[in-house]
Amino acid sequence: MSQHDKSAPRIVAIANQKGGVGKTTTAINLGAGLALKGHKTLVIDLDPQGNASTGLGVEPDQRVLTTYDLLLEGKTLADTMVSTEIENLYVVPSTADLSSADLELHSRSRRASLLDNILAHSSTREQGLDFILIDCPPSLSLLTVNAMVAADAVLVPLQSEFFALEGLSQLMMTIREIRQTANPDLAIEGVLLTMYDGRNRLAQAVMNDARETLGDLVYNTIIPRNVRISEAPSHAQTIHQYDPSSKGSVAYMRLVHEFLERNNVTGGVHA
Ligand code: ADP
Ligand code: MG
Protein backbone atom coordinates (compact mmCIF):
# COMPACT_ATOMS: atom_id res chain seq x y z
CA MET A 1 0.00 0.00 0.00
CA SER A 2 1.46 3.35 -0.92
CA GLN A 3 1.29 5.92 1.79
CA HIS A 4 -1.13 8.84 1.81
CA ASP A 5 -2.45 8.14 -1.67
CA LYS A 6 -6.05 8.71 -2.61
CA SER A 7 -7.11 5.10 -2.73
CA ALA A 8 -9.68 3.92 -0.22
CA PRO A 9 -8.31 3.38 3.29
CA ARG A 10 -8.48 -0.07 4.84
CA ILE A 11 -11.22 -0.03 7.46
CA VAL A 12 -10.92 -2.27 10.51
CA ALA A 13 -13.60 -2.56 13.20
CA ILE A 14 -12.22 -3.46 16.62
CA ALA A 15 -15.06 -5.37 18.20
CA ASN A 16 -16.03 -7.73 20.99
CA GLN A 17 -19.32 -7.37 22.84
CA LYS A 18 -17.54 -7.97 26.13
CA GLY A 19 -16.28 -4.89 27.92
CA GLY A 20 -12.78 -4.58 29.31
CA VAL A 21 -11.10 -6.92 26.83
CA GLY A 22 -8.72 -4.36 25.30
CA LYS A 23 -10.65 -2.93 22.34
CA THR A 24 -9.95 0.70 23.14
CA THR A 25 -6.37 0.02 24.21
CA THR A 26 -5.79 -1.73 20.90
CA ALA A 27 -7.46 1.01 18.85
CA ILE A 28 -5.23 3.60 20.52
CA ASN A 29 -1.92 1.74 20.49
CA LEU A 30 -2.26 -0.06 17.16
CA GLY A 31 -3.43 3.23 15.64
CA ALA A 32 -0.54 5.17 17.16
CA GLY A 33 1.95 2.51 16.08
CA LEU A 34 0.68 2.60 12.49
CA ALA A 35 0.98 6.39 12.51
CA LEU A 36 4.50 6.24 13.93
CA LYS A 37 5.39 3.97 11.02
CA GLY A 38 4.19 6.69 8.65
CA HIS A 39 0.71 5.41 7.84
CA LYS A 40 -1.97 8.06 8.06
CA THR A 41 -4.46 6.57 10.48
CA LEU A 42 -7.84 7.61 11.83
CA VAL A 43 -9.43 6.19 14.96
CA ILE A 44 -13.21 6.59 15.01
CA ASP A 45 -14.45 6.52 18.59
CA LEU A 46 -17.76 4.69 18.32
CA ASP A 47 -18.19 4.19 22.06
CA PRO A 48 -20.23 6.79 24.01
CA GLN A 49 -17.77 6.32 26.88
CA GLY A 50 -15.22 8.18 24.76
CA ASN A 51 -12.23 6.32 26.18
CA ALA A 52 -10.35 6.28 22.88
CA SER A 53 -10.79 10.05 22.62
CA THR A 54 -9.45 10.54 26.14
CA GLY A 55 -6.57 8.14 25.60
CA LEU A 56 -5.58 9.99 22.45
CA GLY A 57 -5.48 13.28 24.34
CA VAL A 58 -8.69 14.91 23.11
CA GLU A 59 -10.05 16.89 26.05
CA PRO A 60 -13.82 16.99 26.52
CA ASP A 61 -13.96 20.70 25.51
CA GLN A 62 -12.21 19.85 22.24
CA ARG A 63 -14.99 17.46 21.29
CA VAL A 64 -17.06 20.00 19.42
CA LEU A 65 -18.05 17.82 16.52
CA THR A 66 -18.16 14.14 17.25
CA THR A 67 -19.01 10.70 15.93
CA TYR A 68 -22.64 11.56 16.65
CA ASP A 69 -22.47 14.47 14.19
CA LEU A 70 -20.75 12.26 11.63
CA LEU A 71 -23.37 9.53 11.90
CA LEU A 72 -26.56 11.46 12.41
CA GLU A 73 -26.04 15.14 11.64
CA GLY A 74 -24.63 14.97 8.14
CA LYS A 75 -21.14 16.12 9.10
CA THR A 76 -18.17 14.84 7.11
CA LEU A 77 -14.89 13.29 8.12
CA ALA A 78 -13.21 16.59 7.31
CA ASP A 79 -15.56 18.33 9.78
CA THR A 80 -15.12 15.85 12.61
CA MET A 81 -11.52 14.57 12.40
CA VAL A 82 -9.10 16.14 14.86
CA SER A 83 -5.34 15.73 14.93
CA THR A 84 -3.46 14.29 17.89
CA GLU A 85 0.01 14.85 19.29
CA ILE A 86 1.25 12.04 17.07
CA GLU A 87 1.87 12.95 13.45
CA ASN A 88 -0.35 11.00 11.02
CA LEU A 89 -2.79 10.07 13.80
CA TYR A 90 -6.33 11.48 13.85
CA VAL A 91 -9.46 10.78 15.82
CA VAL A 92 -13.17 11.41 15.45
CA PRO A 93 -13.98 11.85 19.14
CA SER A 94 -17.14 10.80 20.90
CA THR A 95 -19.15 12.01 23.86
CA ALA A 96 -22.05 10.63 25.87
CA ASP A 97 -24.33 12.06 23.14
CA LEU A 98 -23.57 8.95 21.18
CA SER A 99 -25.48 6.82 23.68
CA SER A 100 -28.76 8.00 22.17
CA ALA A 101 -27.55 7.23 18.66
CA ASP A 102 -28.48 3.60 18.86
CA LEU A 103 -32.12 4.43 19.44
CA GLU A 104 -32.10 7.15 16.79
CA LEU A 105 -30.52 4.81 14.27
CA HIS A 106 -33.48 2.46 14.61
CA SER A 107 -35.79 5.05 13.10
CA ARG A 108 -33.59 5.62 10.03
CA SER A 109 -33.91 3.81 6.76
CA ARG A 110 -30.82 1.77 5.85
CA ARG A 111 -29.94 2.13 9.50
CA ALA A 112 -27.17 -0.48 9.40
CA SER A 113 -25.27 1.16 6.57
CA LEU A 114 -25.13 4.82 7.60
CA LEU A 115 -21.45 4.69 8.55
CA ASP A 116 -20.65 2.66 5.44
CA ASN A 117 -22.26 5.30 3.24
CA ILE A 118 -20.34 8.07 4.97
CA LEU A 119 -16.96 6.33 4.76
CA ALA A 120 -17.51 5.17 1.18
CA HIS A 121 -18.14 8.77 0.12
CA SER A 122 -15.54 10.26 -2.18
CA SER A 123 -14.62 12.91 0.41
CA THR A 124 -13.18 10.13 2.60
CA ARG A 125 -10.55 9.45 -0.07
CA GLU A 126 -9.56 13.09 -0.09
CA GLN A 127 -8.21 12.65 3.43
CA GLY A 128 -5.48 10.36 2.08
CA LEU A 129 -5.91 7.93 4.95
CA ASP A 130 -4.21 4.55 4.92
CA PHE A 131 -6.19 3.03 7.79
CA ILE A 132 -9.39 3.68 9.70
CA LEU A 133 -9.75 1.82 13.01
CA ILE A 134 -13.21 1.85 14.58
CA ASP A 135 -13.32 1.45 18.36
CA CYS A 136 -16.67 -0.28 18.98
CA PRO A 137 -18.82 -0.17 22.13
CA PRO A 138 -19.09 -3.31 24.29
CA SER A 139 -22.26 -4.63 22.66
CA LEU A 140 -23.55 -5.97 19.37
CA SER A 141 -25.77 -2.92 19.03
CA LEU A 142 -26.57 -1.04 15.84
CA LEU A 143 -23.44 1.02 16.37
CA THR A 144 -21.25 -2.09 16.21
CA VAL A 145 -23.28 -3.38 13.27
CA ASN A 146 -22.67 -0.07 11.48
CA ALA A 147 -18.93 -0.51 12.08
CA MET A 148 -18.98 -4.05 10.69
CA VAL A 149 -20.98 -3.07 7.63
CA ALA A 150 -18.51 -0.25 6.92
CA ALA A 151 -15.41 -2.36 7.60
CA ASP A 152 -13.18 -4.47 5.41
CA ALA A 153 -12.29 -6.60 8.41
CA VAL A 154 -12.92 -7.14 12.11
CA LEU A 155 -10.14 -7.31 14.69
CA VAL A 156 -11.26 -9.16 17.81
CA PRO A 157 -9.37 -8.61 21.07
CA LEU A 158 -9.74 -11.57 23.39
CA GLN A 159 -8.85 -11.28 27.05
CA SER A 160 -6.79 -14.28 28.12
CA GLU A 161 -9.20 -15.46 30.79
CA PHE A 162 -11.83 -18.12 31.37
CA PHE A 163 -15.05 -17.70 29.30
CA ALA A 164 -13.15 -15.62 26.74
CA LEU A 165 -14.05 -17.99 23.93
CA GLU A 166 -17.69 -18.30 24.95
CA GLY A 167 -18.74 -14.86 23.80
CA LEU A 168 -16.95 -15.42 20.55
CA SER A 169 -19.61 -17.65 18.98
CA GLN A 170 -22.16 -14.86 19.27
CA LEU A 171 -19.72 -12.43 17.68
CA MET A 172 -18.97 -14.87 14.85
CA MET A 173 -22.71 -15.32 14.30
CA THR A 174 -23.13 -11.56 13.94
CA ILE A 175 -20.25 -11.47 11.45
CA ARG A 176 -21.88 -14.27 9.43
CA GLU A 177 -25.21 -12.43 9.41
CA ILE A 178 -23.55 -9.26 8.18
CA ARG A 179 -21.79 -11.22 5.43
CA GLN A 180 -25.14 -12.66 4.35
CA THR A 181 -26.79 -9.27 4.21
CA ALA A 182 -24.90 -6.03 3.91
CA ASN A 183 -21.19 -6.86 3.62
CA PRO A 184 -20.32 -10.18 1.96
CA ASP A 185 -16.59 -9.42 1.90
CA LEU A 186 -16.22 -8.76 5.62
CA ALA A 187 -13.05 -10.56 6.74
CA ILE A 188 -11.73 -11.42 10.14
CA GLU A 189 -8.54 -9.41 10.36
CA GLY A 190 -7.39 -11.39 13.36
CA VAL A 191 -8.00 -12.40 16.95
CA LEU A 192 -5.67 -10.73 19.42
CA LEU A 193 -4.91 -12.22 22.82
CA THR A 194 -4.67 -9.38 25.31
CA MET A 195 -3.70 -8.95 28.97
CA TYR A 196 -1.77 -12.19 28.82
CA ASP A 197 -0.03 -13.36 31.96
CA GLY A 198 2.29 -16.21 31.05
CA ARG A 199 2.61 -17.30 34.69
CA ASN A 200 -1.10 -17.95 34.84
CA ARG A 201 -1.90 -21.48 33.70
CA LEU A 202 -5.47 -20.54 32.88
CA ALA A 203 -4.21 -17.88 30.50
CA GLN A 204 -2.01 -20.46 28.83
CA ALA A 205 -5.01 -22.76 28.48
CA VAL A 206 -7.06 -19.98 26.88
CA MET A 207 -4.23 -19.29 24.45
CA ASN A 208 -3.97 -22.95 23.49
CA ASP A 209 -7.75 -23.22 23.13
CA ALA A 210 -7.88 -20.14 20.95
CA ARG A 211 -5.10 -21.41 18.70
CA GLU A 212 -6.77 -24.80 18.41
CA THR A 213 -10.21 -23.40 17.62
CA LEU A 214 -9.26 -20.41 15.51
CA GLY A 215 -5.94 -21.45 13.99
CA ASP A 216 -4.27 -18.81 11.85
CA LEU A 217 -6.86 -16.22 12.77
CA VAL A 218 -5.00 -15.73 16.05
CA TYR A 219 -2.16 -13.24 15.78
CA ASN A 220 1.28 -14.54 16.67
CA THR A 221 1.67 -11.35 18.67
CA ILE A 222 0.32 -11.59 22.20
CA ILE A 223 -0.25 -8.48 24.29
CA PRO A 224 1.02 -9.06 27.83
CA ARG A 225 -0.61 -7.71 30.92
CA ASN A 226 1.50 -4.64 31.57
CA VAL A 227 0.71 -1.97 34.14
CA ARG A 228 2.28 0.76 31.97
CA ILE A 229 -0.45 0.13 29.37
CA SER A 230 -3.15 0.81 31.95
CA GLU A 231 -1.37 3.93 33.25
CA ALA A 232 -0.89 5.62 29.87
CA PRO A 233 -4.52 6.79 29.32
CA SER A 234 -4.58 8.77 32.57
CA HIS A 235 -1.69 10.79 31.12
CA ALA A 236 -3.66 11.20 27.87
CA GLN A 237 -0.88 9.33 26.10
CA THR A 238 -0.47 6.21 24.04
CA ILE A 239 1.89 3.58 25.42
CA HIS A 240 4.45 4.54 22.76
CA GLN A 241 4.65 8.09 24.15
CA TYR A 242 4.27 7.17 27.80
CA ASP A 243 6.87 4.39 27.92
CA PRO A 244 8.32 3.30 24.58
CA SER A 245 10.60 0.74 26.21
CA SER A 246 7.79 -0.99 28.13
CA LYS A 247 6.77 -4.53 27.29
CA GLY A 248 3.39 -3.13 26.29
CA SER A 249 4.79 -0.70 23.74
CA VAL A 250 7.09 -3.35 22.29
CA ALA A 251 4.19 -5.79 21.97
CA TYR A 252 1.92 -3.26 20.26
CA MET A 253 4.72 -2.36 17.82
CA ARG A 254 5.09 -6.05 17.08
CA LEU A 255 1.35 -6.13 16.39
CA VAL A 256 1.76 -3.19 14.01
CA HIS A 257 4.36 -5.19 12.12
CA GLU A 258 2.18 -8.29 11.94
CA PHE A 259 -0.90 -6.24 11.02
CA LEU A 260 0.97 -4.58 8.15
CA GLU A 261 2.32 -7.90 7.00
CA ARG A 262 -1.16 -9.41 6.91
CA ASN A 263 -2.57 -6.42 5.10
CA ASN A 264 0.16 -6.00 2.53
CA VAL A 265 1.22 -9.52 1.87
CA THR A 266 -1.81 -11.69 2.48
CA GLY A 267 -4.46 -8.98 2.29
CA GLY A 268 -6.12 -10.29 5.45
CA VAL A 269 -7.47 -13.71 6.27
CA HIS A 270 -10.95 -14.61 5.12
CA ALA A 271 -12.41 -17.21 7.44
P1 ADP B 1 -12.50 -2.32 26.19
O2 ADP B 1 -12.33 -1.17 25.26
O3 ADP B 1 -12.60 -3.65 25.48
O4 ADP B 1 -13.62 -2.13 27.17
P5 ADP B 1 -10.04 -1.39 27.40
O6 ADP B 1 -9.08 -1.29 26.28
O7 ADP B 1 -10.67 -0.12 27.84
O8 ADP B 1 -11.16 -2.46 27.08
O9 ADP B 1 -9.28 -2.11 28.60
C10 ADP B 1 -9.93 -2.32 29.86
C11 ADP B 1 -8.99 -1.93 31.00
O12 ADP B 1 -7.84 -2.77 30.98
C13 ADP B 1 -8.46 -0.52 30.87
O14 ADP B 1 -8.34 0.04 32.14
C15 ADP B 1 -7.08 -0.70 30.25
O16 ADP B 1 -6.20 0.34 30.59
C17 ADP B 1 -6.65 -2.01 30.83
N18 ADP B 1 -5.77 -2.77 29.92
C19 ADP B 1 -5.98 -3.02 28.61
N20 ADP B 1 -4.99 -3.76 28.10
C21 ADP B 1 -4.11 -3.97 29.10
C22 ADP B 1 -2.86 -4.69 29.22
N23 ADP B 1 -2.33 -5.33 28.17
N24 ADP B 1 -2.25 -4.69 30.42
C25 ADP B 1 -2.79 -4.07 31.48
N26 ADP B 1 -3.94 -3.39 31.45
C27 ADP B 1 -4.62 -3.34 30.28
MG1 MG C 1 -13.59 0.48 25.00
Q: What is the pLDDT of residues 122-175, one digit of tens each?
A: 888 899 999 999 999 999 999 999 999 999 999 999 998 877 788 898 999 999
Is residue 49 in some structural domain? yes
Residue 267: pLDDT band with limits 50, 70, 90: very low
What is the 8-class DSSP label of residue 88? Answer: T
Q: Closest ligand 1 atom, CA of 224?
A: 23
**Nearest alpha carbon to residue 114 among 73, 61, 71, 174:** 71
Is residue 1 in some structural domain? no
Give the model's pLDDT for residue 7.
82
ipTM above 0.85, yes or no: yes
What is the 8-class DSSP label of residue 2? Answer: -
Give the model's pLDDT for residue 3.
54
Residue 268: pLDDT band with limits 50, 70, 90: very low
Rounded distance from Cα 43 to ligand 2 centre (Å): 12
Task: Provide, rounded to the nearest whole percent, the portion of the chain with pLDDT above 70.
Answer: 95
Is residue 83 in some structural domain? yes
Tell me, what CATH number does 91's domain have?
3.40.50.300
Number of compact structural domains in the chain: 1
Distance between CA 19 and CA 47 in Å, rounded? 11
Q: What is the pLDDT of residues 15-63, one digit of tens each?
A: 999 999 999 999 999 999 999 999 999 999 999 999 999 999 999 999 9
Binding site membership of 21 for ligand 1 (Cβ less than 6 Å)? yes
Judge whether residue 5 has pLDDT over 80: no
Which of 25, 140, 252 is the best mutation target for the ligand 1 pocket, counting ligand atoms within 8 Å of the beta carbon and taking the most?
A: 25
- In this structure, are residues 230 and 194 in contact, taking their beta carbons and an 8 Å threshold? no
Rounded distance from Cα 25 to ligand 1 centre (Å): 6
Residue 115: pLDDT band with limits 50, 70, 90: very high
Is residue 61 in some structural domain? yes
Is residue 235 in some structural domain? yes
Is residue 2 in some structural domain? no
Give the model's pLDDT for residue 4.
59
End-to-end distance of the chain based on CA atoms, in angstroms? 22
Residue range of the domain that includes 57: 10-266
Distance between CA 212 and CA 209 in Å, rounded? 5
Residue 110 burial class via C-beta count within 10 angstroms: exposed 0-12, middle 13-18, buried 19 and up: exposed
Rounded distance from Cα 136 to ligand 2 centre (Å): 7
What is the average pLDDT across 199-218?
A: 91
State the Rg of the chain over Cα. 17
Task: Write the residue with the smallest CA distance to atom 19 of ligand 1.
Answer: 22
Give the model's pLDDT for residue 75.
95
Rounded distance from Cα 176 to ligand 2 centre (Å): 23
Task: Write the residue with the smallest CA distance to atom 5 of ligand 1.
Answer: 22
